[in-house]
Amino acid sequence: MPGPVSGPDGARDEPVRGRPVRNPEQRFGEAQEQHALLAGEPILGQEGIDAALRVPSRPGGLDEPRGGGGDPAAVFAAEPRRLDQRRDQRILVGQQGRAQRRPVALRGARTQCGGWRVHAPNLGVSAARGEALWSRPFPAMRNLGPAPMTTEIETVRTVADLRARVSAWRARGGSLAMVPTMGAIHEGHMSLVRQAKGLAGHVVASIFVNPLQFGPSEDFEAYPRGEARDAALLAEAGADLLFAPGAGEMYPEGFATTVHVADITEGLCGASRPDHFDGVATVVAKLLLQCGPDVAIFGEKDYQQLLVIKRLVRDLNIPVKIVGGAIVREPDGLALSSRNAYLSAEERETAPLLYATIQQAAHALAAGHATEHALESARAALEAAGFRVDYLEARDPETLARLSGSVATARILVAAFLGKTRLIDNVPVPPRA
């Protein structure tokens, strides 16, 4: 690999790797597979970039710097986390104006800016062309301090491609965790990915808005979608692979199988959303069998769903450990949910009362009050605040059996409408002092 080179003005350029560059003498590794790879047309066109050079991987020759004049802009690239010369590579590329210190031009999916290092995920390149990107660090930018750089995420859309990627990890002895989602990623999902990252060497996140778990009058069509944004957030949280199948891949023509989990699906959300848990059980069974993870993480906000999936895995002997992830809340206590976006400004101000009310009921149970009295008081408080309560119950935290009287251990679960938005939440009853 050639060393740093000089542009027409004699200034030295340096390679940029997949982390902030602090040492001007930093180099790419000697091995060819460690090079960041580019291909095709100049990735950022001619937007006044006077510092970007393309260095062919073959010996000799050096492309002329692209662009010229204008406000100097730095170009940053990062090598992929896992390089495989047999597959297409993906890199991170960003451009930034020196004056405004904000990205001025990017190609790729929607990006996020952290300090002066910017990334553009989902930029496909080919290993066959093998060109490395070099970038000059402008002195004015050196003092901005290091900023975190996130990486792109590889996306597969077929079961065959998913299994091929997983098989390659397995062949090297890697462990695997899975975080299934329906997209509309928020900090709650990202916390599950980070939790998964601590439990396994590789993390697969999935995005699939499952039509089977939506009722005829529910919000399937309106459910928020934005894969580019979601992919960037999942990558930032540490996911290694995104499985984003279409409906035809999950439910091909002639699909005729439904998974039904009895008993634990009755009542609560199962009563007000008929067939919902059949759709959940069916898609989760398919995802777990398609991916074959060692562990799968599901959020505790959908507490009944978590227990349904644990029962599904136990009854069908699917070799995966199901782990619950703690509920992530806004500072005012509202549980994070993709459907919070449906709330009006006035409703959003009221929404935190849902959590506050069931917390109060949980503490009443912990103090020895009868379940019926605590729940009756909580329901009255919610209705007075403008909620239309679907259910508010104390259940056994393992079996979801209905509880009454004085209890030592319980989970309080609630579903309530605020306007047109259905919110769910749950809290454990704390141990008695």
The CA distance from 237 to 346, in Å, is 31
Residue whose entry in the numeric block shows the structure tokens 């009756």 = 376
The CA distance from 85 to 33, in Å, is 7
Strand ranges (E), 111-165: 112-114, 117-119, 123-125, 131-135, 154-156
The DSSP bridge partners found for residue 97 are 73
Measured at the CA of 189, the angle between CA 301 and CA 382, to 5 degrees, comes to: 30
Six token digits for residue 24 = 């001007």
> What percent of the chain is helix, strand and coil (3-state, nearest 5)?
30, 20, 50
The CA distance from 65 to 237, in Å, is 35
List Cα–Cα distances, 319 to 179, 288, 398, in angstroms: 16, 9, 20
Rg (CA), the chain: 26
Please provide residue 287's backbone torsions phi and psi, each rounded to the nearest 5 degrees.
Answer: -60, -40
Q: Of 119, 189, 202, 276, which is the active-site residue?
A: 189
User: Whose CA is closest to 223, among 340, 339, 351?
Assistant: 339
Contact, 112 vs 20, CB < 8 A? Answer: no
Strand ranges (E), 262-336: 295-299, 321-325
Q: List all residues 6 or more positions away from 202 whose beta carbon is below 8 Å from its beta carbon.
A: 169, 174, 175, 176, 177, 240, 241
Q: Which run of H or E residues covers position 288?
A: helix 276-291
Q: Which run of H or E residues covers position 357?
A: helix 353-366
Measured at the CA of 119, the angle between CA 117 and CA 123, to 5 degrees, comes to: 150
Whether 189 is catalytic is: yes
Residue whose entry in the numeric block shows the structure tokens 């462990």 = 175
The CA distance from 92 to 7, in Å, is 23
* Residues involved in catalysis: 189
